[in-house]
């Protein structure tokens, strides 16, 4: 069997591994194994390319193999070590930042492929140039946009945007697309420097695209940028006639796009608003809470209320991750269940800072997955719930999304914690959520505020519940 046949078979196995791995990611029970399947598929593709790929030199007619193996293996080793150490050391609160950073690296790779191909091989067919330019453009946008998203999640970059910027962004992106098409048809445009102009403009657009987007919308942005990277990788697969690269890119691009659409639906937004950059947290002035008062509750009374309840629902949010309280929360759940209390977790699609953030957080603490209920499944049962405990969540339980047309989050589906019989909100302070608006739930007659660090407060609650 010839090397190219072995290469095709290896690519087929790699592609199948990607598909099976992605399918297994749909269930928490098989997600870990699915991730390993996909990693093995990538390893097969890399090794097969190194050892089996051949091409014929157009000038000499000789069959050549891939060279510079020392550099290739060295690069793989460095990337593996850095990636492993970063993944092992990252805290759950910083997981969204790492996802943005790694996704940006994927976009940068796609952009570099375009630059190298256009600079060294000078393709003559306009369709090939179009694929290179589109891959370069999308990869560059993904890279610079992901870096800005990383900065926003780290709190180092603030939201900057206006209506004028939205108009400029929309005009700018269409201008880049027009240049891409024209440069593909007329390769001598800009004296052969079109690749660098497109690269620079795309980097700038990625920055301008993400800058005005509010922090509360960041999970959708991360998902969208992830799909951009997949599409850029798919263009690379077209360019190299590489089946495994094409399959992987299509899977990432389509999965990211589907997830983005589902998250937009969960926030009552349109995908078009995301793409044109109108997906910001700006909005009209929220309804005033002046004259309203909050009611506090202490740990002892909270423990009594939970201990004698028949059903308790916990709504986790980013504050739970910040306090690193997921393990203590699971212990609290088990203590209540030992007293005969039914406990479930209500998960909002965009709770946290990235898609599935709360699911991953609670899975790390070994919370049984059947206890994690999606928003649409849990809302109908909340009126029959004795106690809802909100831990670190804010905007995703804010009734203003349903009652205040002037609110920036109006129309966003929420977990209807306000329909429960009793509500306990655990927070450090009365600070506003990521959307920067007041939460009407805090002033509800059924709500009691339990102030303090989530982890320390839950530890006290556990001790009190055991003594009840």
Could you give the CA distance from residue 387 to residue 389 in angstroms, rounded to a whole number? 6
Give the bridge partners for 447, in sequence order.
Answer: 423
Q: Is 404 a catalytic residue?
A: no
Containing H/E element for 166?
helix 163-185
Cα–Cα distance list, 402 to 87, 97, 133 (Å): 39, 31, 44
Query: Are 364 and 326 in contact, with CB atoms under 8 Å apart?
Result: yes
Could you give the CA distance from residue 246 to residue 241 in angstroms, rounded to a whole number? 8
Contacts of residue 225, defined as CB under 8 A and 6 or more positions apart, other chains included, come to 100, 103, 104, 107, 142, 145, 146, 149, 210
What is the chain's alpha carbon radius of gyration, rounded to the nearest angstrom? Answer: 25
Cα–Cα distance list, 23 to 31, 46, 251, 263 (Å): 9, 22, 11, 19
Q: Could you say which of 395, 404, 445, 453 is catalytic?
A: 395
Contacts of residue 265, defined as CB under 8 A and 6 or more positions apart, other chains included, come to none
Three-state SS at 455: helix
Tokens of 465: 């519940």
**Angle at which helices 357-364 and 95-120 cross, to 10°:** 120
Tell which residue, 433, 419, 424, has the closest CA to residue 458. Answer: 424
Cα–Cα distance list, 313 to 131, 292, 337 (Å): 50, 26, 12
**Angle at which helices 95-120 and 126-153 cross, to 10°:** 150
So which residues are the catalytic ones? 395
């Amino acid at each position: 069997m010839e090397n190219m046949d072995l290469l095709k078979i290896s690519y087929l196995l790699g592609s199948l591994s990607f598909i099976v791995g992605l399918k297994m990611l749909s269930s928490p029970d098989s997600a870990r194994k699915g991730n390993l399947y996909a990693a093995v598929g990538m390893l097969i593709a890399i090794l097969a390319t190194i050892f089996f790929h051949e091409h014929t030199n157009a000038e000499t007619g000789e069959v050549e193999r891939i060279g510079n193996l020392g550099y290739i293996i060295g690069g793989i080793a460095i990337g593996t070590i850095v990636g492993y150490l970063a993944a092992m050391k990252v805290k759950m609160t910083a997981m969204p930042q790492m996802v943005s950073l790694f996704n940006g690296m994927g976009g940068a790779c796609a952009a570099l492929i375009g630059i190298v191909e256009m600079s060294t091989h000078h393709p003559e067919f306009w369709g090939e140039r179009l694929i290179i330019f589109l891959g370069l453009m999308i990869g560059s946008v993904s890279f610079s946009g992901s870096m800005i998203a990383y900065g926003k999640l780290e709190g180092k970059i603030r939201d900057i945007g206006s209506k004028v910027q939205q108009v400029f962004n929309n005009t700018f992106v269409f201008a880049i697309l027009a240049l891409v098409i024209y440069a593909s048809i007329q390769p001598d445009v800009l004296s052969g420097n079109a690749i660098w102009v497109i690269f620079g403009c795309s980097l700038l657009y990625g920055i301008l695209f993400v800058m005005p987007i509010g922090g509360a919308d960041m999970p959708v942005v991360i998902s969208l940028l992830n799909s951009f990277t997949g599409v850029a990788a798919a263009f690379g697969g077209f360019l190299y006639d590489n089946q495994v690269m094409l399959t992987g890119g299509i899977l990432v691009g389509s999965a990211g796009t589907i997830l983005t659409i589902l998250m937009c639906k969960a926030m009552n937004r349109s995908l078009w608003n995301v793409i044109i950059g109108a997906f910001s947290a700006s909005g009209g002035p929220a309804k005033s809470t002046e004259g309203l008062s909050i009611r506090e509750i202490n740990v002892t009374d909270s423990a009594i209320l939970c201990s004698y309840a028949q059903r308790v629902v916990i709504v986790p949010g980013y504050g739970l991750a910040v306090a690193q309280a997921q393990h203590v929360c699971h212990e609290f759940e088990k203590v209540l269940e030992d007293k005969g209390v039914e406990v479930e977790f209500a998960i909002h699609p965009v709770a946290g800072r990235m898609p599935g953030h709360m699911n991953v957080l609670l899975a790390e603490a070994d919370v049984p997955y059947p206890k994690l209920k999606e928003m649409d499944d849990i809302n109908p049962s909340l009126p029959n719930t004795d106690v809802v405990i909100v831990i670190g969540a804010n905007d995703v339980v804010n009734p203003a999304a349903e009652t205040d047309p002037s609110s920036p989050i109006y129309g966003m589906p929420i977990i209807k914690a306000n329909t429960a019989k009793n509500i306990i909100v655990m927070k450090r302070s009365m600070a506003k959520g990521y959307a920067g608006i007041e939460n009407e739930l805090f002033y509800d007659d059924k709500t009691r505020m339990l102030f303090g660090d989530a982890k320390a407060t839950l530890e006290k609650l556990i001790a009190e519940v055991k003594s009840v």
